[in-house]
Amino acid sequence: MNRSTTDWLQRALLYAVLGFLALVFLLPIYVMVVNSIKPLEEIRGGNLISLPLSATIEPWLQAWSKAQIGVQPTGLRPYFMNSFLMVIPAVLFSTLIGSLNGYVLTQFKMRGATLMFGALLFSVFIPFQIVLIPMAKLLGELGLAGTVKGLVLVHTVYGIGFGTLFFRNFYTAFPHELVKSARMDGAGFFVLYWRLLLPNSLPIIVVNVIWQFTNIWNDFLFGASFSDFSSYPLTVALNNLVSSSTGVKEYNVHFAGAFIAALPTLVVYVVSGKYFVRGLMAGSVKG
Amino acid sequence: MVGACVYGFIAFTIYLSFTTSTLMPQFELAEEIPYYRLFRLSTFALSAKNLCLFSGLYIGLSLLLGMLMAILIDQKIRGETAFRSIFLYPMALSFIVTGTAWKWILDPSIGFERTVHAMGFPNFVFDWIKDGDMAIYCVVIAAVWQTSGFVMALFLAGLRGVDTEVMNAARVDGAKGWRMYWRIVIPQLGPSFISSFVILAHMAIKSYDLVIALTGGGPGRATWLPSVFVYQYTFTRNEMALGAASAVLMLIAVSIVVIPYVRSELRDKAHP
């Protein structure tokens, strides 16, 4: 064999391996979609990877508006709404507070700023199991136990760590001369923040919003601990739907439900994957 | 406020872990501290053992697969962006979603086993998820699938930062293909290894959603992890002190991994 043949073989092998891996990675989502439009008998009688013989949207309708999750057969729809009612304010608040924190930490010389930042950085890693009991107690005392508002509070508080991390690293690179000269012109604390820093933070705001949205939407632990039938977020409702042991297991409805729960974050990923990756990296490596 | 909700709450839980709390928090210190009781419990021992097994395999396999994918993608291939997006998309999904999908894929009555039967191999058996000894490996499979794309992204960032001059010099010396990676490139990826390890390790310790969605901790208690233990003892078995104690142990485990990392990050910042 001459050189170019071996080269060609190597390339072919490379693409074959990559293609195989890609198939493996896509398989679960393919299985989810294909089986969510099959009638139940077809799943039971056939296999998971074949295309549907007679496609139907019935499982989707079931999952969306008819499946029994709480006391009423409401489907996932109200929980989908709960998740949005929880995510939107929580993302807004944690972004706002995170950016303020980042601003204070970078633009003002304070004693203990490094220590404070270290404490915040560590807080994004803690296992949240450790705060469950006191948080439950606090929510109970505030009268927010089992409500969507309570979940908003919880997610805001624990979203601040990441928010601060993103904004601090971003503002560290912000030209100090600009801030200094603005301050000489007499700009106060909030004016400076509102007029100068915030308008220039668009990229990091996008990163943070996407990151928080994905995290909070996908949360299960807090949802399972602090909500009840009326305030379940979608992940908890889905898990109840799938693991409820009564009656026939309606796999197609489960797959449809799982896909519904995946859809918002998947859309965000497809539309703005670049920012999502930036969030991932900023949350892990360094600033 | 954050300080209070994080560190104040941690202190509260640590205190609870020394009390007689059962259904509600109590402030009386226990005569025999709950940790002794915790260490004697077979359910806790099982959770801890599962965690060791799970995190070892999960971290090892994710690192391996992630690095492999990064190196493959780094070969100036066509469609790089497409491959990258495909390998990374599971990170955008909830563990509950992927747990549900994998639960039925791994279920012998409708999933993989049955599909292989239908393809003409009626004796094929794959029922790990129903088998108490093997179910934990199902959790490993789903978890590796979910996060190895993330490891790939970290390594890819590392690979792009490798000194090209060193690579060229090595090429002139006749280093080729895999040997070049083994000798020259991989040793330069230390930082990627460390960040991946820290991320994966703390995710492994915190793993909860996936286990719940995939196996519900079962069959029996075969796939309990400390996170499941905390939840069960705190909220359903009314043994709050024990739940708190094991949460504290989880925190300690995470701290061992994370604190050196956070410190080195801060030091880098102080002296750029």
Give A119-166 pLDDT, tens digit per residue: 777 788 888 877 888 888 888 888 877 788 888 888 888 888 888 888
Q: Which among A26, A114, A266 is the nearest to B270, CB-wise? A: A114
Kindly report the number of other CB atoms within 10 A of residue B212's CB atom.
25
- Residue A146 C-beta-side C-alpha neighbours within 13 Å: 4
Q: Which two tokens stand for residue A161?
A: 């760590």
Contact between B205 and B258 (Cβ < 8 Å): no
| Residue B14 DSSP one-character state | H
* Closest Cα in chain B, distance from residue A229 (Å): 16
Task: Please name the residues between 217 and 256 in chain A that touch chain B, using a CB distance below 8 Å.
Answer: 217-218, 220-221, 224-225, 235, 238-239, 242-243, 251, 254-255
User: What one-character-per-residue DSSP string does A96-136 give?
Assistant: HHHHHHHHHHHHS--TTHHHHHHHHHHHTTS-GGGGHHHHH
Specify the pTM: 0.83
From CA A99, how far away is CA A97, in angstroms rounded?
A: 5
Q: How far is CA B122 from CA A34, A47, A191, B272, in A?
A: 24, 13, 73, 63
Environment class of A273 (CB within 10 Å of its CB; exposed 0-12, middle 13-18, buried 19+)? middle
Mean pLDDT for chain A overall: 80
Residues of chain B positioned with their CB less than 8 A from the CB of A138: 5
pLDDT value of position A71: 67
- Residue A226 C-beta-side C-alpha neighbours within 13 Å: 32
Dihedral sign from CA coordinates of B217, B220, B224, B228: positive
Give A68-85 pLDDT, tens digit per residue: 776 677 778 888 888 888
Candidates A26, A123, A129: best to mutate against B (most CBs of B within 10 A) is A129
Residues of chain B positioned with their CB less than 8 A from the CB of A257: 100
Give A82-102 pLDDT, tens digit per residue: 888 888 888 999 898 888 888
| Residue B18 DSSP one-character state | T
How many contacts does A have with B, using Cβ atoms within 8 A?
Answer: 227
Contact between A283 and A121 (Cβ < 8 Å): no
* Contact A169/B at CB under 8 A: no
Residues of chain A positioned with their CB less than 8 A from the CB of B213: 220, 239, 242-243
Task: Please name the residues between 155 and 214 in chain B that touch chain A, using a CB distance below 8 Å.
Answer: 157, 191, 195, 198-199, 202, 205-206, 208-209, 212-213
Angle at B190 between CA B185 and CA B191, to 5 degrees: 120
pLDDT value of position A283: 61
Low-confidence ranges of chain A (pLDDT < 70): 1-3, 70-71, 245-247, 282-287
* Closest Cα in chain A, distance from residue B164 (Å): 21
Strand partners, B268: none
Q: Which two tokens stand for residue B226?
A: 């400390």
**Count of residues in chain A:** 287
pLDDT value of position A287: 33
ipTM of the complex: 0.82
Q: Which among A44, A122, A276 is the nearest to B110, CB-wise? A: A44
- Cα of first residue to Cα of last residue in chain B, in angstroms, is 31
pLDDT value of position A80: 84
pLDDT value of position A247: 65
H-type alpha helices, A173-250:
176-184, 189-191, 202-218, 221-226, 234-243
**Pick from B154, B132, B140: which is nearest to B55 by CA?**
B140
For chain B, 272 residues long, the average pLDDT of each consecutive 10-residue run is 64 66 62 71 78 86 89 82 85 84 80 74 73 79 88 85 75 70 77 83 82 76 78 76 79 82 70 40
* Contact A122/B at CB under 8 A: yes
Contact between A28 and B145 (Cβ < 8 Å): yes
From CA A56, how far away is CA B230, in angstroms rounded?
A: 42
Contact between B199 and B150 (Cβ < 8 Å): yes
Residue of A nearest to B213 (CA): A239
User: What one-character-per-residue DSSP string does B83-101 give?
Assistant: HHHHHHGGGGS-HHHHHHH
* Closest Cα in chain A, distance from residue B146 (Å): 9
Q: Which among A129, A217, A224 is the nearest to B250, CB-wise? A: A129
Residue of A nearest to B112 (CA): A48
From CA A280, how far away is CA A273, in angstroms rounded?
A: 10
* Cβ-Cβ contacts under 8 Å for B57 (sequence gap 6 or more): B137, B140
Contact between A234 and A261 (Cβ < 8 Å): yes
Q: Which two tokens stand for residue B129?
A: 């998820």
User: What one-character-per-residue DSSP string does A269-284 give?
Assistant: HHHHHHHHHHHHHHTT
